[in-house]
């Protein structure tokens, strides 16, 4: 009975890494971090993909709780979820430390 499986922490890191695993999402996070917040349109303007696809990537980053979005009719304002983003960074730092 060895009950082999992944640890919670391994699952969490992998999940964050997966969310970061596409250049569009990296670009979005970089872009967002350069301003306090911005609208969907501003993000769409700098990415080489359709708005439907941008929306999808934003949704994934929201699901991973790395960003937040709130409606400001008729626009949607996005920003980094600072608290969780710091947490994510910490998880990675710890992982990196472990693997040195």
- Output the CA–CA distances (angstroms, integers) from residue 14 to 6, 32, 78, 86, in the order listed: 10, 22, 24, 16
Q: Is 82 in the site for DNA (CB under 7 A)?
A: no
Q: Is 76 in the site for a copy of itself (CB under 8 A)?
A: no
Q: Please list, in sequence order, all residues whose beta carbon lies within 8 angstroms of the beta carbon of residue 54, skipping any fewer than 6 positions away.
A: 24, 40, 43, 44, 47
Which partner from the list DNA, a copy of itself, none does 84 bind, CB cut-off 5 to 8 Å by kind? none
Which partner from the list DNA, a copy of itself, none does 56 bind, CB cut-off 5 to 8 Å by kind? DNA
In whole angstroms, what is the distance from residue 94 CA to residue 52 CA? 35
Q: Is 25 in the site for a copy of itself (CB under 8 A)?
A: yes
Q: Is 67 in the site for DNA (CB under 7 A)?
A: no
In whole angstroms, what is the distance from residue 100 CA to residue 95 CA? 9
Which partner from the list a copy of itself, DNA, none does 92 bind, CB cut-off 5 to 8 Å by kind? a copy of itself
Q: Is 35 in the site for DNA (CB under 7 A)?
A: no
Contacting positions for DNA (CB under 7 A)? 18, 21-22, 24, 39-41, 44, 49-60, 69, 73-76
């Amino acid at each position: 009975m060895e009950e082999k499986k992944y640890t919670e922490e391994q699952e969490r890191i992998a999940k964050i890494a997966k969310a970061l695993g596409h250049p569009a999402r990296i670009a979005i996070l970089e872009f967002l971090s350069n301003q306090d917040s911005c609208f969907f349109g501003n993000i769409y303007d700098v990415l080489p993909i359709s708005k439907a696809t941008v929306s999808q990537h934003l949704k994934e980053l929201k699901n991973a709780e790395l960003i937040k979005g709130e409606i400001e009719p008729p626009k949607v304002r996005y920003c980094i979820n600072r608290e969780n983003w710091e947490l994510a960074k910490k998880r990675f730092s710890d992982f990196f430390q472990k693997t040195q």
